[in-house]
Amino acid sequence: MKIDERNVLVSVFDIDTQIFPEYFGRLTYVFLTAENPSRSIYQPIPLFTNNIYESGAFARVVSFSCSFWQMMQQSRPERLTSFSTQSMPLATLSEIGFWQKDIVSEDSRIFWQGFFKYHGDFRVVPLFFPVSMDAPAAKTFWGTLNNIYRQQRRWAWGSENVPYILEGFRADKTIPKKKRWYWTFNAIEGYHSWATNALMIFALGWLPLFFGGHHFNETLLSYNLPHITRFIIELSMVGIASSAILSFLVLPPAPRGLRIGDYGVYFLQWLLVPVTLVAFGAIPAIEAQTRLMLGGKYRLGFWVTPKRRKEIDRVKK
């Protein structure tokens, strides 16, 4: 069509993504007002709510947790990287070589391709605007749990970007040292905390008492440790309650037949957060990072998360 590629914005969506009215209007506005529009990726907030009412409690909690994390990341764009749905100028995309087809986390790798292509002069610009996607629901309870675990493991495989980042910083000394250290710390600390924080909080109260022996159990630290752990957990309950309230604000219109009591269930489901943080956070992250360390036959390939909507099932029938 002989359209100048500098006048084209490319948007890539997962197949279950649905956009809200004026998404492209918002994208256009942010692009035209960005500080350096040609050196940016434009990132919306994914809301996994398309099938939220027919998903299990575990799928809802994990999906909302991911959405809220992306919301928080948009409020600190200096450390925001690309995820899933994204838009960028076609000219820029062409210069950095498009998305890599031989890795799992190509949606986040594209940011680092641009970052190193332009010697650190590249960024992700938040749209502060949502798109809606599907939660990883399946026909059975165990099928849903399997989908959640494998999806989280695939996301945690994004740690494959860490050696790519470190090698890029080693090779390109023109990137300011402060920026190199900042991104190195964020990348390593992010994947490390993903795999360890929940387990450390879970084990902090009783593990030292169990393995510390008689002498440790008589120390002041031994006496205070359960109190410190309880304070941390009580503090985290504020975040859980806030998440429960916020989840109601982003729910789509309820289907017919949804009772008031169902909303109580949706609120109480957030008590599952300690379980989901360990079972669908730390453990799949540890597995993914261990597989990356071992390499060879243990490496993960790309796995498309099965997702289900009842209305699509009815159409198929």
pLDDT, tens digit, for every residue of 203-247?
766 666 666 666 666 667 666 777 777 777 777 778 778 888 888
| 149 touches 58 (CB < 8 A) | no
Q: Is 316 helix (H, G, I), strand (E, B) or coil?
A: helix
Taking residues 69-90, what's their average pLDDT?
Answer: 91
Task: Output the CA–CA distances (angstroms, integers) from residue 66 to 73, 252, 281, 317, in the order listed.
Answer: 11, 17, 11, 32
Average pLDDT, the chain: 85
Give the confidence band of 317 by pLDDT, cuts at 50, 70, 90: very low
Structure tokens at 208: 């030292």
Query: What confidence score (pLDDT) does residue 31 get?
Result: 95
Task: Output the CA–CA distances (angstroms, integers) from residue 255 to 52, 53, 139, 150, 251, in the order listed.
Answer: 11, 8, 19, 29, 11
Query: What confidence score (pLDDT) does residue 316 get?
Result: 46
Task: Indicate whether 162 pLDDT > 60.
Answer: yes
CA atoms within 13 A on the CB side of 258: 14
Q: Report how far residue 278's alpha carbon sits from residue 188's, in angstroms, rounded to the nearest whole number.
A: 19
Q: Report how far residue 154's alpha carbon sits from residue 151's, in angstroms, rounded to the nearest whole number.
A: 5
Query: What confidence score (pLDDT) does residue 315 get?
Result: 44
Q: Which of 10, 41, 32 is nearest to 125 (CA)?
A: 41
The distance from CA 68 to its chain's CA centroid, rounded to whole angstroms, is: 9
pLDDT, tens digit, for every residue of 167-176?
999 999 999 9
Of residues 203 and 5, the one with the higher pLDDT is 5
Q: Based on C-alpha coordinates, what's the Rg of the chain?
A: 22
